[in-house]
């Protein structure tokens, strides 16, 4: 049985692929990318049908972060010309959220720059959650506020938060090369705090920062062990004025292979295409819907996204449908039993990238899929596609939704 058939069978059984199999997906050639998408698409449709969940970001506090995450336009010392403002009032945040909900979003993600919230910040966000839910009873609210202290996750849950986002971003082995002001272990601890408080954990990665295939597999396997309900896959947006401004390492085909690998490793988890899809997937975005069952609608934290109307048209044209507010995103076994995305107990299924809150051959795999014989060529720098957000939250202009 060849590699892709093996991975499909494992995905339908929620069985963990081997590391060599995951690496082999990343090492497949561009000639075989449609075969990879078709195979991972079978797993995606088995667990999620043709539904696409829409999420909407509200940037509660933008810029001036004391952390030094190299990928982030809001980082300490960033020269990126982004919007900078302090906390939105609850009614302002609720109005911003309403635009996304009117566009079809069922989850609102409330994000704030910073190392982590103070207790006063938790009070602010709690008031904002109440304001949003008073107007939209069925909406899901996810908070993304950085590192959590003891008791804060419980307070957010009591305030009505449904989920908490904190991304691992990259592998433990390379984390210190990206960020020095906090540790990988700090991020893991926050995801575990969210879990323990009864919040739905959301944690993902950033691809395109110069990492190896092994790093990508490492972080996705670590995510599986943490057992989040949703895994956002961000593709680095190389903002001018940040240390990673020159890192243009992704092609559309590379992005599709990464999404396929994530789907195979965490088959029954909400895989979300997050920041950078417009920059790196470009006209291949509709193909990615065969791999991910969730996207962000409209703009991101500090960058502009595709027009919300275009997102909706893309979903319809690709033969998918927007997931309704009354539809349950996750498969029944995850909802009712809290099961991990793996079939075995020993293999259970941050600040943030701009979506809030990228090689070596895999040896030892017997399969019919061709492996790239030479290193992928560097991608062309598409700086023209990096548009700083100038509308929506923190401005007087209407949001994109």
**Active-site residue flag, 202:** yes
How far, in Å, CA of 324 to CA of 284, rounded? 25
Do 222 and 166 form a contact (C-beta atoms < 8 A)? no
User: Within 10 A of 273 (CB to CB), how many other CB atoms are there?
Assistant: 25
User: DSSP string covering 159-180, please?
Assistant: TT--EEE---BS-GGGHHHH-S
Query: Of 14, 107, 124, 142, which is the active-site residue?
Result: 142
| Other CB atoms within 10 A of residue 396 CB | 5
CA dihedral 345, 347, 350, 354 (to 10 degrees): -130
Find the catalytic residue in 14, 44, 72, 266.
72
Task: From the candidates 75, 109, 349, 389, give the one annotated as an active-site residue.
Answer: 109
Question: Does 349 qualify as catalytic in the annotation?
Answer: no
Dist. CA 273–CA 266, nearest whole Å: 14
Pairing of strands 205-207, 140-144: unpaired
**In contact, 272 and 223? CB cutoff 8 Å:** no
Verify whether residue 224 is a known catalytic residue.
no
Per the residue annotation, which of 14, 44, 187, 202 is the catalytic one? 202
Q: Is 254 a catalytic residue?
A: no
Helices (H), 69-208: 90-102, 119-135, 152-158, 175-178, 184-196
Closest CA to 88 of 70, 62, 114: 62
Q: CA–CA separation, 327 vs 284, rounded Å?
A: 27
- Catalytic position from the list 44, 65, 107, 263: 65
- Half-sphere exposure for 309 (CA within 13 Å, toward CB): 1
Catalytic residue among 44, 69, 277, 334: 69
- Beta-strand (E) ranges in 84-224? 107-112, 140-144, 163-165, 200-202, 205-207
DSSP 3-state percent helix, strand, coil across the chain (nearest 5): 40, 15, 50
Length of the chain: 401
Neighbouring CB atoms inside 10 A of 304's CB total 18
Asked if 266 and 220 count as a contact pair (C-beta separation under 8 A), the reply is: yes
Catalytic residue among 272, 277, 334, 389: 272
Distance CA 377, CA 250 (A): 9
Which are the catalytic amino acids? Answer: 65, 69, 72, 109, 142, 202, 272
């Amino acid at each position: 049985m060849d590699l892709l058939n093996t991975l499909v069978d494992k995905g339908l059984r929620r069985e963990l692929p081997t590391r060599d199999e995951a690496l082999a997906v990343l090492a497949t050639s561009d000639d075989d990318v449609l075969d990879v998408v078709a195979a991972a698409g079978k797993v995606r449709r088995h667990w999620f049908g043709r539904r696409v969940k829409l999420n909407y970001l509200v940037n509660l506090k933008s810029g001036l972060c004391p952390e030094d995450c190299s990928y982030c336009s809001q980082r300490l010392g960033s020269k990126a010309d982004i919007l900078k403002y302090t906390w939105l009032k609850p009614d302002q945040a609720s109005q911003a959220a309403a635009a996304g909900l009117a566009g079809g979003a069922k989850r609102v993600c409330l994000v704030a720059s910073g190392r982590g919230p103070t207790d006063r910040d938790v009070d602010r966000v709690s008031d904002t959650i109440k304001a949003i839910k008073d107007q939209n009873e069925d909406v899901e609210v996810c908070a993304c506020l950085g590192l959590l202290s003891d008791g804060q996750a419980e307070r957010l849950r009591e305030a009505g938060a449904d989920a908490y986002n904190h991304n691992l971003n990259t592998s433990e082995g390379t984390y210190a090369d990206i960020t020095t002001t906090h540790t990988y272990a700090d991020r893991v601890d926050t995801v575990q705090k969210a879990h323990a408080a009864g919040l739905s954990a959301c944690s993902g990665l950033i691809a395109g920062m110069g990492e190896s295939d092994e790093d990508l597999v490492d972080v996705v396997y670590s995510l599986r062990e943490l057992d989040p309900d949703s895994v956002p896959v961000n593709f680095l947006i190389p903002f001018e004025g940040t240390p990673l401004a020159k890192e243009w390492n992704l092609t559309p085909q590379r992005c599709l292979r990464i999404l396929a690998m994530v789907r195979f490793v965490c088959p029954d988890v909400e895989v979300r295409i997050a920041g950078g899809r417009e920059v790196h997937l470009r006209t291949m975005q509709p193909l990615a819907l065969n791999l991910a069952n969730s996207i962000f609608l409209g703009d991101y934290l500090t960058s502009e996204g595709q027009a919300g109307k275009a997102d909706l048209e893309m979903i319809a044209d690709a033969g998918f449908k927007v997931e309704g507010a009354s539809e349950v995103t996750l498969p029944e076994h995850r909802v009712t039993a809290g099961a991990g995305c793996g079939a075995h107990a020993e293999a259970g299924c941050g600040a943030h990238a701009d979506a809030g809150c990228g090689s070596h051959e895999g040896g030892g795999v017997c399969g019919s899929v061709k492996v790239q014989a030479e290193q992928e060529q560097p991608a062309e720098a598409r700086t023209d596609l990096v548009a700083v957000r100038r509308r929506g939250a923190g401005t007087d202009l209407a949001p994109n939704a």
